[in-house]
Structure 1
Amino acid sequence: MNNLLINRLFSQNALKDMTVNQNSSILNSCINKHKNSFNGDDNKAAISYLYKYSGKEYRNEYFYKNTLLNKLLIGRHSLNTTTALTELNIGNSKADFVLINGKAVVYEIKTELDNLDRLDNQIKDYYKAFDHVCIVTSKKHLNKVMEKYSNTDVGVCVLTERETISTKKEAIENRTGLEHSSIFKMLRKKEFEIVLSKYYGFLPKTNQFVYYRECLKLFERIPIEFVYKETLILLKKRVKLANQEKFLNDIPYELKTLVYFSEYNERQYDRLLDFLNNHIIKEEENVFSLFER
């Protein structure tokens, strides 16, 4: 149950409580579980402690995503030139983490807590919308993943014990599977309208009941290279944060991914920083007995 609380702590709902309500019952409950080993006195220290605990005992999907964002987007690239996206629906799959700069790479996360049952189908789906795919996995799955994808264009990375991303096999460009309909369904209405307008100079004039279908028909007639190029331009514009680099510098390492994908404004950043600097609220364990059920 302690690990379930960790999952709930590093979530958008918990971040909203911290920012809007200046309180987090989940954080308080987590600290209560660790009261014999946690010696800090503010919320920032509590979150840092629990994140480190997660890194040692329970490397969940958020831990992987946060490492990718910190080590690749912030550490290797630039917030001004590179965009990260998460939970993109592609076919029957959902891309965990996508990094877009001059090219786009889908990172499929397989933690030590996951199995590999759906991996083949996920990879096939991702190649319908992107030309670089990489699996980020744990030491537990590494040998099996390397063996399975050794003769493919799929890249393989491992999250090391030192919390770095180590590339074991580079992802190679492969556009043979790109599919108009998968890309179209991944785009928002305004986005596919921009692609159509740029290529044709017009949008279909029809009623709302068949508009989507008519747009797709036109979209499927556009050369796939043009579609892909314009799609990357549009996806790269999805994350719009004013003074993003300035604000994220003040956010603790442990929360950067949550904040990056929250698209906070300056006031919200300030509210979150206020919460992080507040003293932790220590309550009796029985207050959180509902989590024991």
Structure 2
Amino acid sequence: MSNVSTISLSNLNALSKLISNAGLQRLMDNDTSKVYGRQLKKLLNKNGVTVQGRASFSEMLSLGYQQLLAHYRHEYIYKTAILNSYVLREHSLAETILLNEFKIGTSKADVIVVNGTNKVFEIKTELDTPERLQNQVNDYFKAFTEVYLVVHHSMLAKYLGRVDRHVGIMVFSENGNIDTIYTATPDHSRLDSTIMLKSLRKDEYLNLVRNLNGSIPIAKPVHMFTECCRIAKSFPVQTVHIEFLKIIKQRICKESNEITLDEAIPSYLKFCCYNADLDQNHYIALTKRLNCFI
């Protein structure tokens, strides 16, 4: 395999769509994996990596990931780094839940992590702009007490001063790790019970209210959420927040954790595997697929 200078932003963007949560789901699907493999090989060639003859999925994915890491660091690259170089190094998955694209108010957090603490990570890649940042941060503090902005190390100066004093800052470093520049200061003053309940699934906010109140309210389905919010607001907001975090931690999946930690799963696939809620059958199929040639 050799490098050629055919890299373009449009081709890199197309490659990034294959090496993403959605793209890698196609790899695991028997009906789409061969087409996915051919597209991956074609885009590698278009992005400066000539794949001669047959190559394994594992080899092509590694090449694609490295090409994006060097030339087009989209969100999946950052999220993979947060999992590999921050969560897996500093926390136990048995006591930690990481959630992708978690809705909070009118915003969607790139990553949240809940264990003994609770953190929101807002990623601003080199491909992003800071326009919505302040509104996003304001939303995040309504459901979580620690908020971190994650930027590429070359963009640090651009974002310093754009967030308030409570927000921590992390950088995607030259070696591909996530390093903390400023530690977040917990802020409980902006928590909002209604926003917390809106972030949960129906069964989850019903369980939260049951935990607070001892029972689920009797109400017509159309009025149930409003009644749950009324009950939640009758309790101190920090009490609601404690129960909110407990409910989120119930999403921890032992089987997914074991698969994510397995050494057979390449580092660039761990974030996808963790979020896909794979079982052992999926795991066996995936490890076999990675060794297939196309």
TM over 0.5, shorter chain: yes
- Given that residues 256 and 277 in structure 2 are in contact (C-alpha distance below 8 angstroms), is that contact kept between their aligned partners in structure 1? no
CA gap of 1:155–1:174, structure 2 versus 1, over 3 A, is same
Which residue matches 2:58?
Answer: 44
Q: Hey, what's the Cα distance between the residues in 2 that align with 1:243 and 1:209?
A: 35
| Stretches of structure 2 lacking an aligned partner (at least 5 in a row) | 1-9
1:17 matches 2:32? no
1:203 matches 2:249? no
Aligned-pair distance for 1:24? Answer: 4.3
Give, as a single letter, the amino acid of the residue that structure 2 aligns with 1:132.
E
Point out the more displaced range, 257-266 or 221-230: 221-230
Task: Within 5 Å, give how 1:90-109 maps onto structure 2.
Answer: 90-109=104-123
- Given that residues 17 and 24 in structure 1 are in contact (C-alpha distance below 8 angstroms), is that contact kept between their aligned partners in structure 2? no
Deviations 1:107-145 (A, max 9, x none): 000000000000000000000000000000013421122
Residue 228 of structure 1, aligned match among 215, 227, 241: 241
Aligned-pair distance for 1:33? Answer: 3.3
1:217 matches 2:201? no
Q: Hey, what's the Cα distance between the residues in 2 that align with 1:48 and 1:201?
A: 51
Which residue matches 1:5?
Answer: 14
Q: Hey, what's the Cα distance between the residues in 1 that align with 2:81 and 2:111?
A: 11
- Given that residues 2 and 33 in structure 1 are in contact (C-alpha distance below 8 angstroms), is that contact kept between their aligned partners in structure 2? yes
Task: Within 5 Å, give how 1:1-293 maps onto structure 2.
Answer: 1-21=10-30, 23-35=33-45, 37-38=50-51, 41-149=55-163, 152-242=165-255, 244-246=257-259, 248-249=261-262, 250-279=264-293, 281=294
| Stretches of structure 1 lacking an aligned partner (at least 5 in a row) | 282-293
Higher relative contact order, structure no. (Cα contacts within 8 Å, ≥ 6 residues apart): 1
- Given that residues 259 and 273 in structure 2 are in contact (C-alpha distance below 8 angstroms), is that contact kept between their aligned partners in structure 1? no
Deviations 1:196-220 (A, max 9, x none): 1122212211221212211111111
Give, as a single letter, the amino acid of the residue that structure 2 aligns with 1:30.
L
- Given that residues 146 and 185 in structure 2 are in contact (C-alpha distance below 8 angstroms), is that contact kept between their aligned partners in structure 1? yes
SS of equivalent to 1:34 = helix
Aligned-pair distance for 1:236? Answer: 1.3
SS of equivalent to 1:176 = coil
Q: Hey, what's the Cα distance between the residues in 1 that align with 2:24 and 2:219?
A: 43
- Given that residues 241 and 265 in structure 1 are in contact (C-alpha distance below 8 angstroms), is that contact kept between their aligned partners in structure 2? no
Aligned-pair distance for 1:15? Answer: 2.6
SS of equivalent to 1:268 = helix
Point out the more displaced range, 64-73 or 19-28: 19-28
Aligned-pair distance for 1:72? Answer: 1.4
CA gap of 1:77–1:180, structure 2 versus 1, over 3 A, is same
Q: Hey, what's the Cα distance between the residues in 2 that align with 1:220 and 1:258?
A: 37
Aligned-pair distance for 1:246? Answer: 4.8
Where does structure 1 differ by over 4 angstroms across 4 or more consecutive aligned residues? Answer: none
SS of equivalent to 1:105 = strand
CA RMSD, Structure 1 to Structure 2 (Å): 1.7
CA gap of 1:243–1:206, structure 2 versus 1, over 3 A, is closer
Q: Hey, what's the Cα distance between the residues in 1 that align with 2:123 and 2:220?
A: 41
